[in-house]
């Protein structure tokens, strides 16, 4: 009686190996995401300089070895956080300005992506915490690596340039006052948004209600761009502050 060949098992083994590899990859990705989320929370609560790798690992439920498997160190984690939290903004800054929108609509949409309920990077609370973390690092000495300062400064510059371009287009179409200096107005808008975020999260921490709605804030800014007259211009040394 002829012997039957053994059943082919290569396909089954390959399938098992593939499933295991996929699960391992998913678990690794989950661990990485947990480390990023935990680090972000601790950086916001304690500050970057006062947060240790031991605290991040312990709060994430992993060993330091697992942490180092994913990141070179604390600076690497921080840079990853900034890259992920600002990706939507970088994409926005690189996208073309839609001609079908008025410049008032474009600027309002831009503002609401920072402070509105349906923003560009997660929930309002997440965006607010990241905004405060950025502002804190910009005005704190030795609070973060130089690379992060350079990233923030670069994004801030691009952001102001983009808003200034929208204002220039609005002036060309007759939407906005000709008396406005676009780059000063753009910086004013950026500072206003920063202040809105800081006040909103400050009120939240203190258990107080923040009364101004994002839509009202955006409308107030747009209204000032339309109604400003050259007669309102102050002395040159204060021009950068009062140009809107």
Q: In order of start, what are the domains of the chain with their CATH numbers? A: 8-71 (1.10.10.60), 73-242 (1.10.357.10)
Q: What is the largest CA-CA distance in the chain?
A: 108
Show the tokens assigned to 148: 């992060």
Give the burial class of 58: count Cβ atoms within 10 A of its Cβ; 0-12 exposed, 13-18 middle, 19 or more buried.
middle
Measure the CA–CA gap between 19 and 71, rounded to whole angstroms: 26
Measure the CA–CA gap between 143 and 43, rounded to whole angstroms: 10
% of the chain residues with pLDDT over 90: 36
Asked if pLDDT for residue 60 goes beyond 80, the answer is yes
The stretch 80-104 carries a mean pLDDT of: 83
Q: What are phi and psi of 179, to 5 degrees?
A: -80, -5
pLDDT score for 243: 40
Measure the CA–CA gap between 83 and 71, rounded to whole angstroms: 14
Among 2-16, 131-145, 203-217, which is the least confidently predicted range?
Answer: 2-16
161-164 contacts, C-beta under 8 A, 24 or more apart: 161/186, 162/93, 162/110, 162/186, 163/107, 163/110, 163/189, 163/190
Q: What are phi and psi of 29, to 5 degrees?
A: -65, -40
Measure the CA–CA gap between 119 and 104, rounded to whole angstroms: 18
- Helices 103-115 & 124-138 angle (0-180, nearest 10): 90
Tell me the pLDDT band of 55, cut-offs 50, 70 and 90: very high
This prediction has a pTM of 0.71
Tell me the pLDDT of the chain averaged across its residues: 80
Residue with tokens 């970057």, as numbered in its chain: 48
Tell me the pLDDT band of 207, cut-offs 50, 70 and 90: confident
Q: Cα–Cα–Cα angle for 87, 164, 147, nearest 5°?
A: 40
Measure the CA–CA gap between 181 and 195, rounded to whole angstroms: 21
The pLDDT tens digits of the residues spanning 137-146 come to: 666 655 667 7
Among 107-116, 120-129, 140-149, which is the least confidently predicted range?
Answer: 120-129
Q: SS3 for 135?
A: helix
Among 19-28, 83-92, 94-103, 194-203, which is the least confidently predicted range?
Answer: 19-28
């Amino acid at each position: 009686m002829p012997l039957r060949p053994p059943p082919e098992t290569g396909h089954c083994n390959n399938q098992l190996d593939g499933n295991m590899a996929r699960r391992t990859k998913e678990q690794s990705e989950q661990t990485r995401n947990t480390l990023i989320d935990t680090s972000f929370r601790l950086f916001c609560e304690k500050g970057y300089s006062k947060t240790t790798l031991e605290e991040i690992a312990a709060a994430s439920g992993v060993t330091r070895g697992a942490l180092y498997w994913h990141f070179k160190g604390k600076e690497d984690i921080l840079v990853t956080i900034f890259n992920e939290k600002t990706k939507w903004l970088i994409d926005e800054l690189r996208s073309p300005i839609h001609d079908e929108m008025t410049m008032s609509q474009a600027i309002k949409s831009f503002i609401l992506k920072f402070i509105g309920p349906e923003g560009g990077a997660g929930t309002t609370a997440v965006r607010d915490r990241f905004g405060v973390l950025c502002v804190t690092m910009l005005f704190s000495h030795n609070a973060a690596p130089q690379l992060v300062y350079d990233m923030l400064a670069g994004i801030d510059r691009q952001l102001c340039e983009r808003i200034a371009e929208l204002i220039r287009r609005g002036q060309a179409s007759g939407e906005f006052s000709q008396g406005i200096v676009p780059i000063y107005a753009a910086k004013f808008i950026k500072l206003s948004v920063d202040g809105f975020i800081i006040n909103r999260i400050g009120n939240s921490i203190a258990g107080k209600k923040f009364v101004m709605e994002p839509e009202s804030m955006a409308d107030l800014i747009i209204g000032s761009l339309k109604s400003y007259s050259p007669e309102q211009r102050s002395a040159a040394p204060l021009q950068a502050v009062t140009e809107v």
